Structure 1
Amino acid sequence: MKDQFLSPIFLRPKKNGEYRMILNLKKLNEYIEYHHFKMDTFESAIKLVTSKSFMASIDLRHAYYSVPIAEEHQKFLRFYWNGKLFQYTCLPNGISSAPRIFTKLLKPVYSSLRVLGHVNVGYIDDSLLLGETIEECNKNVNDTIELMSKLGFVIHEDKSVFQPSKQIIFLGNIIDSENMIITLTADKKTKPSKRM
């Protein structure tokens, strides 16, 4: 078929035993213009944590897949699987512009939650929610879930932490607001603890 782009596809195992389908878009990415953008980082998250902080987290299930691709651009996201031609109709993992697109998409969501007085940080599909009291953190969690659900995002309940806590795992790090320290999770541990 003319005027299309075919990419190889492969499966990558996930921690839970399932597989993530990855479209190898290395060749297509060579044609995608890079645009600088600012995204929250782990460092920006820990700057918001105080010794009073209660924390929760929300993970979005298949976050990129909730972003539709314009029909005229889907032809660039084609692949063969078991002898049949398929194409992505949503944002695939592996496209170089995905982090920028998703960050820009969620920026107004987090801004509207901040207008309500909530303290939060979003990194792609992971959100750290804070409050100075359990009640404040609970309100942040409830408002975030409600807004994300209204916008069509699906909350990954198994990977989210809804119950406010003084210790939480965020982006592979354990944040402890009680003692104001950060440690790596056991599977990422290579360095000693760091004081905030």
Structure 2
Amino acid sequence: MLLGGRGGGAGGGGGGGGGGGGGGGGGGGGDARVVPPSTTLTCVSPLNVIVQPSKKRLILDLRHVNSFLSVPRFRYEGLTRVPDLVQEGDWLFTIDLKSGYHHVDIHPAFWQFLGFSLQGQDYQFLSLPFGLATAPFVFTQLIKQLAKRWRSRGIRLIPYVDDILFISATRAEALHNRSIIIADLAAAGFVVNFKKSQLAPAQSLKFLGLLLDTRTTTFS
């Protein structure tokens, strides 16, 4: 039995990647299944359920698992790239990937370390959970491969985990690039969160909480 599914979680959780992971707690959602009787879990992590207005969110405490992991050092791209890439009069759009980490399958050999218990039943994650210390690195490396492909075609972009800003010189170019990008994401198995994405090309929009206005070249 699967609990949740791509982009959804046990109890209805979900949510974007953010920088979630780090060395400590929190996160939830993703693909999980009831542990078969023939399977023994090596680790069952503490679990809390936070009730939010529109959903319930699982918070899985993976500190014990994380203590055994070696986490590579890496840098995110982000708002520091904006002044270098965004020019006056540019057209912008953003894409948010739905429950980004949950697109990444965990090798079956490691399911045993990603267990949790809910209402007396044991489950195990089958996809990359929020709270796993290596999750930000793994997901960022995957997005980097798509970014390389797009940049080789002259597309300007700034990826930050599962949020991506795209920059074009004209509205027509933005529309053309958007169709390429959405097709590439679909081919790679990523699900776009259309509700959170800003797909209509604009010269003023918010990205990672910053208002970008290319008409006045102000970023606030």
Q: Give the TM-score category using the shorter length.
A: 0.7 to 0.9
Aligned counterpart, 2:74: 37
**Match 2:97 to one of 55, 60, 63:** 60
Instruction: Supply the AA of the counterpart residue of 2:166.
Output: L
Kindly indicate whether the alpha-carbon contact (under 8 Å) linking 2:41 and 2:115 is maintained by their aligned counterparts in 1: no
Matched, 1:89 2:93: no
Q: 1:5 — aligned with what?
A: 43
Q: Which amino acid aligns with 2:78?
A: T
How do 1:1-196 and structure 2 match up within 5 A? 4-12=42-50, 17-183=54-220
Contact 1:45–1:128 (CA under 8 A) maintained in structure 2: no
- The Cα shift of 1:5 comes to 1.0
2:46 maps to a residue whose letter is: P
8 Å Cα contact 2:114-2:125 kept in structure 1: yes
Q: Is the 8 A contact 2:104 2:127 kept in 1?
A: yes
Q: CA separation in 2, counterparts of 1:21 and 1:47? A: 38
TM superposition shift of 1:36: 0.8
Q: CA deviation at 1:13?
A: 5.2
Aligned length: 182
Query: Runs of 5+ in structure 2 lacking a partner?
Result: 1-38
CA change 1:140–1:19 in 2 (3 A) is farther
Contact 2:94 2:166 in 1 (8 A): yes
Amino acid at match of 2:88: S
Q: What SS is found at the alignment partner of 1:47?
A: helix
Q: 1:29, 1:96 within 8 Å by CA — same for their partners in 2?
A: yes
CA contact (8 A) 1:32 1:96 kept: yes
Contact 2:96-2:196 within 8 A present in 1 as well: yes
Q: Which digits, 9 at most, give the CA deviation of each residue in 1:104-129, with x for residues without a partner?
A: 01111111011111111111110101
Q: Is the 8 Å Cα contact of residues 58 and 127 (structure 1) preserved in structure 2?
A: yes
TM, length-normalised to structure 1: 0.87
Partners of 1:135 and 1:11 in 2: how far apart? 45
Q: After TM superposition, what 4+ stretches of structure 1 lie above 4 angstroms from structure 2?
A: none
- Superposed CA RMSD in Å reads 1.6
Give 1:173 deviation, angstroms.
1.3
1:71-121: CA deviation from partner (whole Å, max 9, x where unpaired): 001111000000000000000011111110000011111110111111111
1:40-78 CA distance string (max 9 Å, x none): 121123421111211000000011111000000111100
